């Protein structure tokens, strides 16, 4: 049975794009990417419009940059502001270790084990085939290239079906458990963008039941995502990711927790990266009180919430439940 190119996993396409962009020093043009990189190539060959593929590539770039992948845009050497023939690459120097870093024998052993998973041999057949095609086009390809193992998946199960629904412009349904609720409720949305914020994936769209724009945490989707036959205007996706990100940033700016953190701990390392110094401890912006309470409770005695009272109570409740589960032992 022939493989339907429109049903290729978005995650696989992102992996292939990263591999291709890391494989070249001079960069790849958008046309080369759309005709050579697996995930785009199949849809191009199946008759997808170039405009749709270009928008898909732009969304993929946004997703990868949100994950911390430094995609560099190289303009015309004579006119750097002219991006009509821009080339894209991931600078390998961004992944090089500083020369003054040393590892102990134990650390090297752990890295060796990791290398069994993250290795060049883990690269998919499509990725290797894409690199051969890029070489055939006369583009320099550096080696060795970091391989990305398809066995590792750090995203929630809802990510892939929602990404497909966004690409196809289809209304999606799922059961969603709101923070603080005991019962999940059905959500029916026009999914417009997936975005990562504070290490968590969200889907932004128009909630057809609430008749309003909403942002949902993927980790709170407690059912399979059902893609319906109902479609929506693909133009609604334009700028949706930026709009959703601004919304989350505005919520976080209005909500700040005052937290005391033990120096040199994991909590200090993670929280200080997004914190603002205060006279007593640090101020940490947050979006969702329940999700943030989960995080703070996981640090145990390394943190103490000063305010707000609701967040402090939520953290205490989680610690008390943990204590009860373990038989009340100190």
DSSP character string of 83-133: -TT-EEE--GGGGPPPTT----HHHHHHHHHHHTTSSGGGS-HHHHHHHHH
- With a threshold of 0.85, does the pTM exceed it? no
Q: Does 266 have pLDDT greater than 70? A: yes
The backbone torsions φ and ψ at residue 293, rounded to the nearest 5 degrees and listed phi first, read: -65, -40
For the segment 309-324, what is each residue's pLDDT rounded down to a tens digit?
999 999 999 999 888 8
Greater confidence, 230 or 1? 230
Would you say 204 and 243 are in contact if contact means Cβ atoms under 8 Å apart?
yes
State mean pLDDT over 12-28: 83
- Domain range for 242 is 159-251
Query: Across the chain, what does the average pLDDT equal?
Result: 78
Measured CA to CA, the distance from residue 40 to residue 121 in angstroms comes to: 23
- Looking at the structure of the chain, the number of domains it has is 3
Would you say 179 and 291 are in contact if contact means Cβ atoms under 8 Å apart?
yes
State mean pLDDT over 143-152: 38
Domain membership flag for residue 16: yes
Burial of 174 (0-12, 13-18, 19+ CB in 10 A): buried
pLDDT of residue 108: 55
State mean pLDDT over 282-290: 91
SS3 string of 15-66?
HHHHHHHHCCCCCEEHHHHHHHCCCCHHHHHCCCCHHHHHHHHHHHHHHHHH
Residues 46, 123 within the same domain: yes
State mean pLDDT over 57-79: 77
Residues 124, 9 within the same domain: yes
User: 226, 251, 276 — which closes off a domain?
Assistant: 251
Residues 12, 116 within the same domain: yes
Domain membership flag for residue 229: yes
Nearest CA among 166, 156, 157, 167 for reference residue 200: 156
Would you say 159 and 172 are in contact if contact means Cβ atoms under 8 Å apart?
no
| Per-residue CA distances from 72 to 22, 64, 88, 220, 280 (Å) | 10, 12, 6, 34, 40
Measured CA to CA, the distance from residue 263 to residue 272 in angstroms comes to: 10
> The tokens 């038989």 sit on which residue?
327
The number of beta carbons lying within 10 Å of the beta carbon of residue 26 is: 10
Q: What is residue 305's three-state secondary structure?
A: strand
State mean pLDDT over 146-162: 60
pLDDT of residue 2: 38
Q: Does 189 have pLDDT greater than 70? A: yes
State mean pLDDT over 210-217: 93
Greater confidence, 99 or 140? 99
Measured CA to CA, the distance from residue 284 to residue 269 in angstroms comes to: 13
Query: For residue 305, what pLDDT band results from cuts at 50, 70 and 90?
Result: very high
The counts of H helices and E strands in the chain are 11, 12
pLDDT of residue 144: 40
Partners of residue 29 on adjacent β-strands? 87
Q: Does 261 have pLDDT greater than 70? A: yes
Domain membership flag for residue 294: yes
User: 251, 285, 304 — which closes off a domain?
Assistant: 251
Residues 132, 239 within the same domain: no
Residues 66, 37 within the same domain: yes
Residues 6+ apart with CB under 8 A from 259: 271, 275, 281, 282, 283, 284, 296, 303, 304, 305, 306
- 28-29 and 256-261 strand pairing: unpaired
State mean pLDDT over 61-85: 72
């Amino acid at each position: 049975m022939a493989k339907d190119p429109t049903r290729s996993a978005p995650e696989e396409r992102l992996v292939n794009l990263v591999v291709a962009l890391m494989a070249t020093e001079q960069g790849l043009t958008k046309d080369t990417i759309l005709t050579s990189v697996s995930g785009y190539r199949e849809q191009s060959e199946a008759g997808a419009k170039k405009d749709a593929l270009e928008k898909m590539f732009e969304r993929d770039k946004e997703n990868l940059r949100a994950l911390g992948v430094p995609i560099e845009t190289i303009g015309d050497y004579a006119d750097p502001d002219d991006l009509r023939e821009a080339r894209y690459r991931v600078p390998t120097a961004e992944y090089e270790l500083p020369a003054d870093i040393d590892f102990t024998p134990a650390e090297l052993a752990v890295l060796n084990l990791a290398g069994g998973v993250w290795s060049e041999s883990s690269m998919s057949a499509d990725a290797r085939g894409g690199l051969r095609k890029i070489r055939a086009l006369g583009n320099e390809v550096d080696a060795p290239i970091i391989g990305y193992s398809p066995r590792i998946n750090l995203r929630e199960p809802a990510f892939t079906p929602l990404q497909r629904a966004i690409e196809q412009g289809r209304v999606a349904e799922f059961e969603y458990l709101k923070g603080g609720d005991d019962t999940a409720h059905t959500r029916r949305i026009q999914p417009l963008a997936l975005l990562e914020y504070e290490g968590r994936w969200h889907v932004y769209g128009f909630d057809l039941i609430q008749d309003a724009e909403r942002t949902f945490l993927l980790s709170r989707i407690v059912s399979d995502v059902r893609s319906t036959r109902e479609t929506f205007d693909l133009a609604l996706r334009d700028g949706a990711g930026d709009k959703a990100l601004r919304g989350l940033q505005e919520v976080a700016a209005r909500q700040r927790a005052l937290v005391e953190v033990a120096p040199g701990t994991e909590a200090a390392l993670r929280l200080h990266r997004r914190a603002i110094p205060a006279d007593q401890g640090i101020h940490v912006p947050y979006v969702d009180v329940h999700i943030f309470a989960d995080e703070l409770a996981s640090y145990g005695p390394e943190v103490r919430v000063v305010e707000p009272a609701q967040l402090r109570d939520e953290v205490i409740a989680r610690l008390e439940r943990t204590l009860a589960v373990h038989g009340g032992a100190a």
